[in-house]
Amino acid sequence: MTNDTSSSAGHEGLFADILNMASLTKSQRRVAEALSHNPQMIAFADTAEVARRAGVNNSTVVRTAQALGYRGWPDLQRELRSLYLTSISTEDTLIEHGPYHSPLHQALERDIANLRHAGESNSEADAEAAVELLAGATRILVFGLGSFAGPATVLAHLGKTMGYNISHEGRGSVHIASAMNDVGEGDVVVIINLWRTIGQLRGAAAAARAAGARVLVITDMRRGLLSEIADHVLIVPSEGVSFFQSITATTSLVYGLLAGMEAAHPERSRKALRRTQLLWKDLDIYLD
């Protein structure tokens, strides 16, 4: 990251919504200002380094993050890092990540870290609320476009296998409008959107809320444009290697939701599973 005056000013504006000075004490504002003016710290600095740059003690850094609505410095650091990555070009993302000595192993190590951070970012209460929302839905409509269609497809496919009235729309434009046409009270709309916010999906979330449906968002930004309009938000780190976002943590979270959905309606789920297995046989789907 560069640290010239224009770059610092640009990042100060970029982080303004997260580093809300109005909610901070004088010493906490020094931390926020240090982060705004030294964006190169975001990726690698620990609490001690941030404290040194701001001229405060370590505990002030932690309290600053908490005052801003985060669990601590690592949680705030990930949010700022995610926001920074959305602001640069795909080519600059490649430069940011640098060369790879072993792309395969570095990708695996990144995903291991993402899985750990996903566990830290979502409390048991967060998970239970999301499962309760899905388990009580009359109908579930899942949106996931592009790369993020993968975990959305898993959620809809296995949810359907367990007897849920659930479907996935992976296309944009008029297909979103058609899918949303009869959404109403009792329904749940799940939006899986990482990295940059897709305007059509934010519009779908707003339309769902207006129609009386509930909205569950799975995203990598606690303060994102989708998060602010959702009933429930689950946070999944998405930074991968190279230029793309990783969906590993998102997919693992989806499997956790599915396990909770099965446990919420065990008899219905098992009846549906038995029916599905009979259809496998009747349709000669599997050869072994």
Mean pLDDT for 98-126 is 91
Q: Which domains does the chain have, with CATH numbers?
A: 5-87 (1.10.10.10), 120-282 (3.40.50.10490)
Does the CA dihedral 25-28-30-32 come out positive or negative? negative
**Rounded to whole angstroms, how far apart are CA atoms 186 and 12?**
42
Q: What is the dihedral of CA 116, 192, 228, 71, to 10 degrees?
A: 0
pTM for this model (two decimals): 0.83
What is residue 6's predicted lDDT score, i.e. its pLDDT? Answer: 39
Please state, as a whole number, how many other Cβ atoms lie within 10 Å of the Cβ of residue 262: 22
> Does residue 5 or residue 224 have the better pLDDT?
224
What is residue 114's predicted lDDT score, i.e. its pLDDT? Answer: 94
What is residue 288's predicted lDDT score, i.e. its pLDDT? Answer: 83
**Rounded to whole angstroms, how far apart are CA atoms 157 and 275?**
15
Mean pLDDT for 151-166 is 98
Reading the block at residue 79, the tokens are 């949010």
CA 250 to chain centre: 7
Residue 1: which of 37, 49, 47, 33 has the closest Cα?
A: 37
Mind listing the pLDDT tens digit for each residue in 197-238? 999 999 999 999 999 999 999 999 888 889 999 999 999 999
For the chain, percent of residues with pLDDT exceeding 90: 69
Mean pLDDT for 50-66 is 94
* Helix-then-strand count for the chain, H and E: 14, 5
Segments of 179-273 assigned E as strands: 187-192, 214-219, 232-235
What is residue 16's predicted lDDT score, i.e. its pLDDT? Answer: 82
> Does residue 143 or residue 5 have the better pLDDT?
143
Mind listing the pLDDT tens digit for each residue in 236-270? 999 888 888 899 999 999 999 999 999 999 999 99
The residue written with tokens 């990930």 in the block is: 78
User: In one letter, which amino acid is 116?
Assistant: R
> Does residue 41 or residue 164 have the better pLDDT?
164
**Rounded to whole angstroms, how far apart are CA atoms 188 and 178?**
16
Q: DSSP secondary-structure letter at 15?
A: T
Mean pLDDT for 79-98 is 76
Contact 144, 192 (CB under 8 A): yes
Where does the pLDDT of residue 7 fall: very low under 50, low under 70, confident under 90, or very high at 90 and above? very low
